[in-house]
Amino acid sequence: MTVPSIDPFHAITLSALAHRLAAEGRSIIHMEFGQPSTSAPREAIERAHHVLDTDPMGYWESEPLRVRIARHYAESYGVEVSPERILLTSGASPALVLALTSCFAPGARVALARPGYVAYRNTLRALHIEPVEIPCGEKERFQLTAELLAAVEPAPDGVIVASPANPTGAILSGPELVAIVAVCRERGIRIVSDEIYHGLSFGDPAHSVLEYEPDAMIVNSFSKYFSMAPWRLGWLVVPEEKIAAARARMGNLFLTPSSLSQHAGLAAFDCRGELDGHVRVYRRNRDLLLAALPTWGLQRIAPPDGAFYIYADVGHLTQDSLSFCEKLLRDTGVAIAPGVDFDPVDGKRFIRFSFAVSTDRIAEAIARMTPWFAARDAESRVT
C-alpha cells in the first residue's frame, strides 16, 4: 500500500503572504480562514483563569461537560442522547478521525459533496479511505441530495453530510435530510454528519441528523458558534454499538482534550447572550456583502443560509482562483480563500469570503474591493 498524497491548503499559503505583507507595514483584512475574530466568551475566560489559579489539572474527560452537551441535544433538537455516547475531543478534526476510523476499514468508499471542506477529502485519503466526490452545482444548491447519493454506484460505505456547509453556508432542509437518511438505510450507508456550524443560521436553524438517524456519527466543535477555535475542543456523538471502538481510538490516538478548555467550554454554554451577539454581527456582515457583490458583477453565489461564508462564482473574471486571490491580496490587502481548496475541479472559478470579522472591517474590505472588482470587470470586457 503506498503512502497517500495530501493536497496543501492554499488558504494557508495566502495567509502566510498576508502576514508577510502586514510585517512590511501593509494594512491587511483577514477573510481567508473560517474562524471568528472574537475571543472565547468572557465567562469562559474567567473560568479558565480561576482553574489555572486553583487546580493542578491532569488528563481528564469532563463528565459535567458531557452531561451539558447531552442536555443541549434535548433542548435544541428534542433528541435524547445519553452522556456515555459523547466523546470529548480536541476539536472537530480529531472527532472526524475517530468517526472515520471507528466505522470504515482501509479501502472503504465514503461519499461527500464537492465543493466541500478541504480536510474531508484529505483526511479520508490519509486514512486510506477512498473519497467519492459528488459534484453539487447551482441546481443542487451546492449541497448533497438524496437523488445524487442514490445514484452513486456501487453504494458507498459511508457519506459525510455537512449542513451548514463549508465553503457555501448552504443548509440541508429537514425533508432533504429525511430523504438522505432513507437512501442511506436502504443502501447500508453509514452517515457521518459534521454539524460544526450549528448555531450559525440566518433563517431556520439547521437540523441535526440525530433527529432522523440515531446511528449517525455526529461531529461538532467549540470552534465556530462558541468562538473558541484556538482552545481546541469538540465532541463526537456515537451510537451505542460504536462507543467501545471510538473510546479505544480516542484513548490511544489522542488521550483527552485540554482540561483547561473543557472547564472553559462548560462555562461557554451559559454565554448565549454574548455568542448570539456575534451571530447578529455576522448577519449584518452578510447583508453588506450580499448588497455589494452584485454591484461587482458577482451574481452567482451559493445560498449563504448559515456559517459565515459566501462562495461566489468569478468564472467571468478568472479560471485561476488562486492567482486571483493572490492579486486581490497584493492590490487591496484583503485576504480571501480560493475555490480550489474546496473543489479541485470547478473551484478554479470560485472564491470564498469569510465574514467572521467585525462589521467595520467588512465595510473597509468592501470599500477596497469595490474599485478592484470594477477594474477586473473593465479588463475582462477589453480582453
Ligand X SMILES: Cc1ncc(COP(=O)(O)O)c(C=O)c1O
**Three-state SS letters, the chain:** CCCCCCCCCHHHHHHHHHHHHHHCCCCCEECCCCCCCCCCCHHHHHHHHHHHHHCCCCCCCCHHHHHHHHHHHHHHHCCCCCHHHEEEECCHHHHHHHHHHHHCCCCCEEEEEECCCHHHHHHHHHCCCEEEEEECCHHHCCCCCHHHHHCCCCCCCEEEEECCCCCCCCCCCHHHHHHHHHHHHHHCCEEEEECCCCCCECCCCCCCHHHCCCCCEEEEECCCCCCCHHHCCEEEECCHHHHHHHHHHHHHHHCCCCHHHHHHHHHHCCCHHHHHHHHHHHHHHHHHHHHHHHHCCCCCECCCCECCEEEEECCCCCCCHHHHHHHHHHHHCEECEEHHHCCCCCHHHEEEEECCCCHHHHHHHHHHHHHHHHHHHHHHHHC
Q: Taking the complex as a whole, how short is the minimal distance between the CB of residue 71 and ligand X, in angstroms?
A: 21
Residues 164-193 that bind ligand X (CB under 6 A): 166
Among 143, 221, 318, 332, binds ligand X (CB under 6 A): 221
Q: Taking the complex as a whole, how short is the minimal distance between the CB of residue 196 and ligand X, in angstroms?
A: 4
Among 189, 196, 264, 357, binds ligand X (CB under 6 A): 196
Residues 108-127 that bind ligand X (CB under 6 A): 117
166 vs 321 by CB, closer to ligand X: 166
Residues 13-52 that bind ligand X (CB under 6 A): 34
Q: Taking the complex as a whole, how short is the minimal distance between the CB of residue 255 and ligand X, in angstroms?
A: 16
Among 234, 265, 306, 339, binds ligand X (CB under 6 A): 234
Among 11, 65, 87, 162, binds ligand X (CB under 6 A): 162
136 binds ligand X (CB under 6 A): no
Among 176, 194, 195, 326, binds ligand X (CB under 6 A): 194
Among 143, 223, 262, 321, binds ligand X (CB under 6 A): 223
234 vs 347 by CB, closer to ligand X: 234
| Residue written as grid cell 502566510 | 16
11 vs 267 by CB, closer to ligand X: 11
| Residue 23 exposed, middle or buried by CB count within 10 Å (0-12, 13-18, 19+) | exposed
Q: Taking the complex as a whole, how short is the minimal distance between the CB of residue 362 and ligand X, in angstroms?
A: 19
Q: Taking the complex as a whole, how short is the minimal distance between the CB of residue 95 and ligand X, in angstroms?
A: 7
Residues 72-91 that bind ligand X (CB under 6 A): 91
Residues 243-262 that bind ligand X (CB under 6 A): none
Q: Taking the complex as a whole, how short is the minimal distance between the CB of residue 47 and ligand X, in angstroms?
A: 20
257 vs 373 by CB, closer to ligand X: 257
Enumerate residues 6+ apart whose C-beta is below 8 A from 294.
Answer: none
Q: Taking the complex as a whole, how short is the minimal distance between the CB of residue 382 and ligand X, in angstroms?
A: 38
Q: Taking the complex as a whole, how short is the minimal distance between the CB of residue 35 and ligand X, in angstroms?
A: 7
Q: What is the dihedral of CA 354, 272, 231, 209, to 10 degrees?
A: -70
239 vs 257 by CB, closer to ligand X: 257
CA-closest candidate to residue 266, choices 40, 96, 99: 40
132 vs 233 by CB, closer to ligand X: 233
Residues forming a β-bridge with 88? 235
Among 44, 70, 146, 229, binds ligand X (CB under 6 A): 229
Distance CA 188, CA 172 (A): 21
68 vs 198 by CB, closer to ligand X: 198
Q: Taking the complex as a whole, how short is the minimal distance between the CB of residue 20 and ligand X, in angstroms?
A: 23
Q: Taking the complex as a whole, how short is the minimal distance between the CB of residue 195 and ligand X, in angstroms?
A: 9
Which stretches of the chain bind ligand X, using CB under 6 A? 34, 91-93, 117, 162, 166, 194, 196, 221, 223, 229, 234
